[in-house]
Amino acid sequence: MKIQQISDMDEIGRKQRETLYTPERVTINTGMASCGIAAGAGKTFARAVAEFGEDEHIQIRKTGCLGFCELEPLVEIYKKDGPRIVYKNATEDKIADIINGYMEGQFDKKMALGQMRDPRSLLEEDFPNPLEGLDPVPDIPILEEIPFYGQQIKIALRNCGYIDPEKIEEYMARGGYKAFLSALEADQPEGIITAIKDSGLRGRGGGGFPTGVKWESCAAHEGERFIICNADEGDPGAYMDRSILEGDPHAIIEGMLIAGLAVGSNKGFIYVRNEYPLAVKRLVVAIKQATDYGLLGQHVAGSDFSFEMKISTGAGAFVCGESTALMASLEGEVGRPRAKYIHTVEKGFRQSPSNLNNVETYANVPAILLKGSQWFSQLGTDHSKGTKVFSLVGKIKNTGLVEVPMGTSLRSIIYDIGGGIPKKKAFKAVQTGGPSGGCIPDEFLDLGVDYNELGKVGSIMGSGGMIVMDQDTCMVDVARYFLDFLKEESCGQCNPCREGIKRMLEVLNRICEGDGREGDIELLQELGGMVRNFSLCGLGTSAPNPVLTTIRYFRDEYEAHIRDKKCPAGVCKPLFHYEIDGDACTGCTLCARKCPQEAITGEKKNPHELDQEKCIKCGICYEVCKFNAILIV
Amino acid sequence: MNETNPVAKDSTPAIDYPALDRLVEDRFNNDKENLIMILQAIQAQYNYLPRPALSYLSEKIEIPLSRIYGVATFYSTFSLEPRGKNIISICLGTACHVRGAGKVLDRIEDTLHVENGETTDDGQFTLESVRCIGCCSLGPVVKINEDVYGRIGSEDLTQILDHYGESKIEQGG
Separation in Å, CA of A91 to nearest CA in chain B: 14
Residue B3's pLDDT is 42
pLDDT tens digits, A282-336: 999 999 999 999 999 999 999 999 999 999 999 989 999 999 999 999 999 999 9
Strands A427-432 and A465-470: antiparallel
Residue B111's pLDDT is 87
Torsion, Cα of B167, B128, B132, B74 (10° steps) = -130
pTM over 0.80: yes
Residue A596's pLDDT is 84
Q: Please check whether residue B122 is in contact with residue A588, taking contact to mean a CB–CB distance below 8 angstroms.
A: no
The pLDDT confidence band at residue B171, using thresholds 50, 70 and 90, is: very low
Q: Which of A332, A465, A491 sits opposite B33 (nearest CB)?
A: A332
Phi, psi of B129 (to 5 degrees): -105, 145
The pLDDT confidence band at residue B157, using thresholds 50, 70 and 90, is: confident
> For residues A219 and A213, what is the distance between their CA atoms, to the nearest angstrom?
10
Question: Looking at residues A523-527, what average pLDDT do you find?
Answer: 98
Whole-Å CA distances, A179 to A5, A267, A303, A348, B124? 12, 19, 15, 28, 52
A136-140, A225-229, B101-105, B125-129: the lowest-pLDDT one: B101-105
- Count Cβ atoms within 10 A of the Cβ of residue B28 and give its class: 0-12 exposed, 13-18 middle, 19 or more buried: middle
* Maximal C-alpha separation, chain A: 84
| Domains contained in chain B, CATH given | 2-74 (no CATH), 86-172 (3.40.30.10)
In this complex, how many residue pairs, one in chain A and one in chain B, have their CB atoms less than 8 Å apart? 140
| Domains contained in chain A, CATH given | 16-148 (3.40.30.10), 177-374 (3.40.50.11540), 387-470 (3.10.20.600), 475-564 (1.20.1440.230), 577-632 (3.30.70.20)
Residue type present at position A620: I
pLDDT higher than 60, residue A385 = yes
Q: Is A531 left (phi over 0), alpha (psi -120 to 50) or beta?
A: alpha
Question: Looking at residues A104-109, what average pLDDT do you find?
Answer: 92
The secondary structure of A510-543 as a DSSP string is HHHHT---TTHHHHHHHHHHHHHHH-SSHHHHHT
Tell me the ipTM for this assembly. 0.90
- What's CA A369's distance to the chain center, in Å? 24
Q: Which of B75, B137, B154 sits opposite A70 (nearest CB)?
A: B137
pLDDT higher than 80, residue B8 = no
Q: Please check whether residue B119 is in contact with residue B84, taking contact to mean a CB–CB distance below 8 angstroms.
A: yes
Q: Does A565 touch chain B if contact means CB atoms closer than 8 Å? A: no
The pLDDT confidence band at residue A120, using thresholds 50, 70 and 90, is: very high
Chain A residues close to B148, C-beta within 8 Å? 34, 37-38
Question: Looking at residues B85-99, what average pLDDT do you find?
Answer: 89
Phi, psi of A358 (to 5 degrees): -90, 165
pLDDT tens digits, A534-586: 999 999 999 999 999 999 999 999 999 999 999 999 999 999 999 999 999 99
DSSP one-letter code for A79: -
pLDDT higher than 50, residue B28 = yes
Q: Does A73 touch chain B if contact means CB atoms closer than 8 Å? A: no
pLDDT higher than 70, residue A22 = yes
Separation in Å, CA of A208 to nearest CA in chain B: 22
pLDDT higher than 80, residue B2 = no
Task: Extract the runs of DSSP E, i.e. beta strands, from A451-583.
Answer: 465-470, 578-580
Q: Does A29 touch chain B if contact means CB atoms closer than 8 Å? A: no
The pLDDT confidence band at residue B110, using thresholds 50, 70 and 90, is: confident
Written in H, E and C, the secondary structure of A356-393 is EEEHHHHHHHHHHHHHCHHHHHHCECCCCECEEEEEEE
Separation in Å, CA of A400 to nearest CA in chain B: 6
pLDDT tens digits, A232-276: 998 888 999 999 999 999 999 999 999 999 999 999 999 999 889
Residue of B144, B156, B142 whose CA lies nearest to A620: B156
Buried b (16+ CB within 10 A) or exposed e, A271-304: bbbbbbebbbebbeebbebbbebbbbbeebbeee
pLDDT tens digits, A37-63: 989 999 999 999 999 999 999 999 999
Say if the Cβ atoms of A39 and B94 lie within 8 Å: no
Question: Looking at residues A417-426, what average pLDDT do you find?
Answer: 94
> For residues B160 and B164, what is the distance between their CA atoms, to the nearest angstrom?
7
> For residues A393 and B152, what is the distance between their CA atoms, to the nearest angstrom?
16
pLDDT higher than 80, residue A157 = yes
Phi, psi of B76 (to 5 degrees): -70, -15
Chain A residues close to B32, C-beta within 8 Å? 332
Say if the Cβ atoms of A393 and B155 lie within 8 Å: no
Question: Looking at residues A499-514, what average pLDDT do you find?
Answer: 97
The pLDDT confidence band at residue A493, using thresholds 50, 70 and 90, is: very high
pLDDT higher than 80, residue A395 = yes
Search chain B and give the residue with CA nearest A619. B103
Residue A226's pLDDT is 98
